[in-house]
Amino acid sequence: MQIHQRTQFVKQSALDLGFSFVGVAKARQLDEEAKRLEKWLNQGFHGEMSYMENHFDKRIDPTKLVDGAKTVVTLMYNYYTDEKPTDENAPKISKYAYGKDYHHVVKNKLKTLLALINEEIGEVSGRCFVDSAPVMERDWAKHSGMGWIGKNSLLINKQQGSFFFLAELIIDLELSPDAPIKDYCGTCTRCIDACPTDAIVEPFLVDGSKCISYFTIELKAAIPDEVKGKFENWMFGCDICQDVCPWNRFSKRHAEPSFEPHADLLGLTRNDWEEVTEEVFRVLFRKSAVKRTKFKGLKRNIDFLLK
């Protein structure tokens, strides 16, 4: 099978599995991105996310994650929904966490894709990554022409915006690489203007330790008093910089049953959340990414918002 045929097979197979976009980049060390990451870490913008300092060499070079790696395949899986809590005063969770944990849903599809490649093309060594290893996923998405990195530091796709999970298949199979596209943010600063905690310190630079998602998910200690009243009712994650992005007017509703919210989730009122019990937490978020905060963490966030 020739290289362009292999590439076409991989892309079509991914689309058949439900991925929205697929791009290909040559596996190599990311020198420019390495300098930027090092500077970001030195500025302390990762806060208490100490894992961002780990495996620096692997993070910037996929050949250290997969021996003989030749290609990074980046895939985008849509999670956008226009569903919202029925009580507009109720605490909110980020759209990505409405349904089952995306790590498992998307990774299972990646494993299927790798199996299909082995079946059709021959023995290919590789690894599947879904936001759980030292991979610079947005940079690889940019290099493979999937979109550009916006001023809010998220990958923006010209066709459908930014409400996507990014995943990677790093393989020792050579495929035809795609070309990057230009930045289409222009002079727009809506994400910067809308961020209530001023986490976007300048265009394309985010202080992660000021982000609402950081405070409500990553931070294990008490949320600092100086951000009291600035969360705009977000109790897990935050979608503000995506909700205001003009490119997300092109977002389309996902078609993944696993991402549908629990039947009771969006119907809970502000009072329901104020009185939520650990038993209700376990029922609502049994297979959800929200489990990451544990009940204690989510209760801390709710109390911070409502009390």
The strand ranges marked E within 125-171 are: 126-129, 148-149, 155-156, 164-171
Q: Which helix (H) or strand (E) holds 25?
A: strand 21-26
- Backbone phi and psi for residue 181, each to the nearest 5 degrees, phi listed first: -110, 170
Q: Say if CB 198 and CB 29 are below 8 A apart.
A: no
For residues 108 and 174, give the distance between their C-alpha atoms in angstroms, rounded to a whole number: 23
Paired sense of beta strands 148-149 and 155-156, if any: antiparallel
Q: Say if CB 102 and CB 289 are below 8 A apart.
A: yes
Return the C-alpha torsion angle 282, 235, 200, 95, nearest 10: 60
Q: Decide if 131 is catalytic.
A: yes
For residues 238 and 213, give the distance between their C-alpha atoms in angstroms, rounded to a whole number: 5
Catalytic residue among 87, 131, 178, 243: 131
CA atoms within 13 A on the CB side of 159: 9
Q: Which residues are catalytic?
A: 131
